[in-house]
Amino acid sequence: MNRFCKSTILPAVALCALGLWSVQPDPAFAETETGDRPEIKVPRGGGRAAFEKFGCITCHMGDGRGGQNEGGYGADLRVTKLTEQEVLQTITNGRAGKGMPPFKGLIDDETLQMLATFVKEELRLK
């Protein structure tokens, strides 16, 4: 009986390990068209994960309220009057006069859109 257990458990463990290895996410970086700066891709996690990962919380706080903080003075995203498209443009191109850095070329288009949607749908005061 001991021999039977060893002969069935080891292959099962090996298959399980191979299965777990094959579902690992792709690397987080991809080359941009020009190849000059890495483009960051966020595999899963949604807008909240991207909001935290890219440091939006440094200026806008975790709940989007903004205000005076270590990153300067972040806008209160909970009450923004910008449309989702305008939020997307702001994240993409920044607002130099207000201290908002541009993220074009640093964050892929899909994640930029995810962040804009997150700001308008999840952070806004209801």
- Residue predicted with more confidence, 30 or 55: 55
Residues 52-103: tens digit of each pLDDT: 999 999 899 889 998 887 667 889 999 999 999 999 999 999 998 888 999 9
- Give, rounded to a whole angstrom, the gap between the first and last alpha carbons of the chain: 63
Average pLDDT, the chain: 76
Could you give the CA distance from residue 1 to residue 118 in angstroms, rounded to a whole number? 57
18 lies in a domain? no
15 lies in a domain? no
Report pTM: 0.62
Residues 11-29: tens digit of each pLDDT: 444 444 444 443 444 444 4
60 lies in a domain? yes
Residues in the chain, total: 126
CATH number reported for the structural domain that contains residue 110 in this entry: 1.10.760.10
